[in-house]
A and B are shown apart, each in its own frame.
Chain A
Amino acid sequence: MKTLVLGLGNPLLTDDSVGLRVVQQLKPLLAGRGDIEVEEDYWGGLRLMERLVGFDRAIIVDAICTGAAPGTVHTLSVDSIPTQHSASGHDVNLPTALDLGRQTGAYLPANENILLVGIEAEDVITFSEDCTPQVQAAIPRAVETVLAAVDAVGKQA
């Protein structure tokens, strides 16, 4: 099962970079897996959808703002993410983008094969190249969450 592990974020906006940091740690850990690509990206919506074309399954890692304790690691499905921007703005939301892509005949992972791993952020509006301490401390847990999901992928393949 061809899987994309994709970290999203803005590297300069404090905790918004956490998705990028998680996949940076995952790259060496998953280097031997020919069925898995680990990438970083910066966009949501249509560009995120375009990035998923050709994959059977996707695990998307990004910061999230729900009001939970900073550093909480959430797992979500496409159907449970928000109605508006799933990641990045100025674009359509991910479910809409996926619908549009499928309508044009693009091969995309089924919604149930897209897992979103969200790390609760504390600050996403201050310019800094460092995460806040609790979010930084959550990175290993997020890495474990992705690895567990990746194994589940392997077993099902």
Chain B
Amino acid sequence: MSTKTMKRISIDPITRLEGHGKIDIFLDEAGDVANAYLQIPELRGFERFCVGRPAEEMPNLTARICGVCPEAHHMAAAKALDAVFHVDPPPTGKKLRELFYSIFYATDHTTHFYALGGPDFVVGPDAPPAERNILGVVKKVGMDIAGKVLKMRKDGHNLIQMIGGRRVHPNWALPGGVSRGITEEQRKEIEARGREAVEFAKFSIEIFNKIVLGNPDYVNLIKNDAYVHKTYNIGTVDANNKLNFYDGMVRVTDPDGKEFAKYHARDYREHIAEHVEPWSYLKFPYLKKVGWKGFVDGKDSGVYKATPLSRLNAADGMATPLAQKEYERMYDTLGGKPVHHTLATHWARLIELLFAAERWVELATDPEITGKEYRVLPTQTPTEGVGCVEAPRGILTHHYATDERGILTMVNLIVGTTNNNAPINMSVAKAAKGLIKKGKVTEGLLNMVEMAFRAYDPCFGCATHFLPGQMPLEVTLRNPQGEVIERLRQNLG
């Protein structure tokens, strides 16, 4: 190929990912990867849609933003309203919220491992795409697993409905607590399902141990330099610096694992800023006190990750015994803290699944959980407030301001996936660099690039429309005039 040729490779669409994410890979004159970008259409006009509405609508409204994690938005919104209305929920109210949230987490992480991220490992990264799905997992692990996964999900959804009172979007958490409590009979049901969830999580980790860790090729893949990024990590911790999904302080650790910052959610703007790139609709959050230095690793770059692995890296451990054991095993296996191997995020997600299930049982057996004081009524004039929770895909921040009647005047959201926008792009670029040399695309590129960003469990779309037609994964190489010179395709399952 001639010098100064800039080739462009597009991967579109991305399998198993919602929305219309598209990857463009740009080659330099030598035919090596200059850069790779994941472009995501951001949903538009949410702030404008919200301003002028009563703030109390937000837990309900934001839960409808997204069909994937309505519970996370519901919780972050309720916490932001606690702050806006200057009210602190009673212990039973907080515990019920965390119980609800733990059930949601266990359900969501189950879906990701078995339906989205897990197939790459369990079925194998080299398997044909048509087999790298949940059916492939069932074929490999056994029929039994299908029923278990569906039951786990169904139990979770049923309990969320039982507690939240609605099948679809929850309408339950309110400023100052929740709208209703649970009975002893319901508690028993929640506890029984929670104990099953712990067994399910243990079983899932066993599968991972046997199939992934038992295979040196997979372990090498996890440790492969193409999937390593030494960035800052962010996650929410409790008073003992143990991971918590629902509440606590936000902790940032540096690439060496040392604490860099620990702050209350309300101070997020002192710590997080957002960088804008002309080619992306989505912004790139970074650590303000380090600064934006581009899409680069290291201590001098403000890029941070907010994933299950980041949360484990940012915490000193897990708050439940079985998850703590698995936490220690992961770090022992991968050479100590922090771990920067992106693909270990799948492992971290399973440890979080176990933690969520254990926490579910702990809360379901807490003497206060059936208490009758689950809400305090707000009496002060509303002003401004921030609420944060750990969404499965990264820390989720809701920030609202209202006038004295509680009518919204400002809304700012930083959603889970957005936190990881810069590292996702870096991971895609790094994987592509390892597999495209001198204009030659190594077989398996599409799989490997996909695996790089799928580890982040990114979520870009909140609409449910059909995307019709055959949708093969496609790489197109173009010359500077835009003519197609090569097209690689693989059909998806």
* Chain A interface residues toward B at CB < 8 A: 8-13, 15-16, 19, 41-47, 50, 62-66, 74, 76, 80-93, 96, 99-101, 103-104, 116, 118, 121, 124-128
Contacts and interface: CB of A to CB of B under 8 A. Distances in A.
Interface string B30-69: 0000000000011111101100000000000100110110
B18 A125 contact: no
A7 to B, nearest CB: 10
Given A42-B168, A83-B15, 5 more contacts: A19-B464, A42-B169, A81-B468, A100-B150, A127-B48
Interface of B: 13, 15-19, 41-46, 48-49, 61, 64-65, 67-68, 111-112, 115-116, 133-135, 138, 143, 146-147, 150, 153-154, 157, 168-169, 459-472, 491-493
Contacts of A104: 143, 146-147, 150
Contact of A88 (B13, B18, B169): B18
A89 B465 contact: no
A45 B147 CA distance: 16
Contacts of B472: 83
Contacts of B13: 84
A9 B464 CA distance: 5
A66 B64 CA distance: 25
A10 B466 contact: no
Given A89-B19, A90-B111, A64 B466 contact: yes
Contacts of A100: 134-135, 138, 146, 150
B67 A96 contact: no
Contact of B154 (A16, A42, A50, A63): A50
From A82, A89, A101, name the one whose CB has the most chain B CB atoms within 10 angstroms: A89
Q: Is the interface of B mostly helix, strand, loop or mixed?
A: loop
Nearest to B157: A47
A88 B467 contact: no
Nearest to B42: A125
B111 A83 contact: no
Contact of B68 (A46, A82, A90): A90
Nearest to A50: B154
B466 A42 contact: no
Contact of B463 (A10, A74, A82): A10
A65 B465 contact: yes
Contacts, number: 160
Nearest to A66: B468
Contacts of B41: 125
13 contacts: A8-B464, A11-B64, A16-B463, A64-B468, A82-B471, A83-B492, A88-B18, A90-B112, A104-B146, A118-B465, A124-B465, A127-B49, A128-B49
Nearest to A102: B146
Contact of A87 (B15, B115, B464, B492): B464
A43 B468 contact: no
Nearest to A62: B466
A99 B135 contact: yes
Contact of A121 (B111, B134, B460, B465): B465
Nearest to B466: A64
A126 B16 CA distance: 23
B465 A62 contact: yes
The 9 closest A-B pairs by CB, nearest first: A89-B18, A63-B465, A127-B49, A16-B463, A88-B464, A83-B492, A64-B466, A90-B68, A124-B463
Contacts of A118: 465-466, 468
A16 B115 contact: no
A116 B466 contact: yes
Nearest to A46: B153
B465 A16 contact: yes
Contacts of B463: 9-10, 13, 16, 63, 124-125
B159 to A, nearest CB: 15
Contacts of A47: 157
Given A82-B466, A125-B41, A89 B461 contact: yes
A63 B67 CA distance: 15
Contacts of B469: 66, 82
Contacts of A65: 465-468
Nearest to A11: B64
